Structure 1
């Protein structure tokens, strides 16, 4: 009887050690950081790969700023490249991050369309109208830019007055406006000003922007079994 009992204990111990060994083999670590701290996350390798975690981290930690310098073709290539990169990220398949990926692509596509219209404004001013919805400030500015003449100058005046409300030196803005209005090339200058500070600023508000409020990192940390804080910068 004693021999049988010992064998039972040995088998049970073997099973327990095997289970522990299997669990340890499944759990791996991945190091990441936020604005303040560096962390090591312990994750279940049966659920996610290191590649998926890295791509998911990249998804919400990238600013996605795309320069609009250069030619129209250069602008198109840059946006196409970034959109292609995001579309091919191998992220974790949670509802939250799948939706975030769609939102990032939407933001990039909408911004690219506006930037293309802005860059081509003087060659195809009608594109400024079709790029934005009816009933918006951006559409009104687009119409003024298209009409030119007095409509454009009136829009220029309204943009400057709007800026003066939140500027520490409104008199300086008004002085620049009056100086511009005395120039022979005032229509060209007004066009450039209204395009950027009127049309673009208003159109940009219509874009599907993403609020980065810490929720992305919060959701990312939930992917791990445990997260250890390695180091934090002093505040």
Structure 2
């Protein structure tokens, strides 16, 4: 009996030594690798990319972005700057005929009030726009703000000038645009001379140049000649000239590339053009 008990104890002792030896034989690097693998396999919400959905002309887009670089609010602001604020910032009357001219003159005060209200809202929108902290986009925001200020001044002056062209004499105008200001505030001969030259320039850019000049001759011989001249010289002359000198962001391929570069990955579903 004693022999059997001693044999059993001896076998258990040998097995314990064997397990201890096997445990010692496992390299430390392997143990560390196992621990790291376990840690890496635990994905926290912070490691997952953020999701930002937006639309363009033909596409519904889902962008995946690094949440350690940008917030969703910053991307929303940048998207507004990139897509929604592209184009005309303020609404104002389109004066291409006598009826529109007369209506603008009649409702000048209301139009100016609406313009100022629209300007104040857009100014506040751009000022409070939170965008990504990247020099390119910060510069685009500054340019958009300057564009709004300049465009508002131009629209305000233009609306007042339909009733009183002399107001243009007190505005800062480049030499290129000043010829229209002088014509609008000169005698009939000089006004017609500049008006005719403007129409000739317009006809060269038109698919039917003769029609442009025929219309000019009809307006020239009309009892409303002065008003027709005011429309052309303010809208197509001074207005277009000053509008071309407004500093504004370039909505080009570079801006498109800069916006899409904010995302790690992009999924898009697009309609046929």
Give your verdict on TM over 0.5. yes
TM-score by length of 2: 0.75
Task: Quote the RMSD (CA, aligned, Å).
Answer: 2.4
Q: Is the contact made by 1:152 and 1:187 (CA closer than 8 Å) also made in structure 2?
A: no
Task: Indicate how the Cα distance of structure 1 residues 148 and 60 shifts in structure 2: closer, same or farther if over 3 A, else same.
Answer: farther
Contact 2:82 2:255 in 1 (8 A): yes
In the alignment, the residues of structure 1 paired with residue 165 and residue 179 of structure 2 have an alpha-carbon distance, to the nearest angstrom, of 13
**Matched residue, 1:233:** 271
| Pairing 1:63-212 to 2, within 5 Å after superposition | 63-65=86-88, 66-69=90-93, 71-136=111-176, 138-212=177-251
TM-score (norm 1): 0.86
Which residue is equivalent to 1:16? 40
The runs of at least 4 aligned residues of structure 1 exceeding 6 Å deviation read none
Which deviates more, 118-127 or 5-14?
5-14
CA change 1:129–1:205 in 2 (3 A) is farther
**CA distance in 1: counterparts of 2:268 and 2:245, whole angstroms:** 41
Larger radius of gyration: 2
Q: 3-state SS of the aligned residue for 2:62?
A: strand
Aligned length: 231
1:52 aligns with 2:74: yes
CA contact (8 A) 2:165 2:184 kept: yes
Structure 2 residues not aligned, in runs of 5+:
1-19, 94-109
Q: Structure 1: which 5+ residue stretches go unaligned?
A: none
Equivalent residue runs for 1:34-49 within 5 Å:
34-49=56-71
| CA deviation after TM superposition for structure 1 residue 214, in Å | 2.6
DSSP 3-state at the match of 2:44: helix
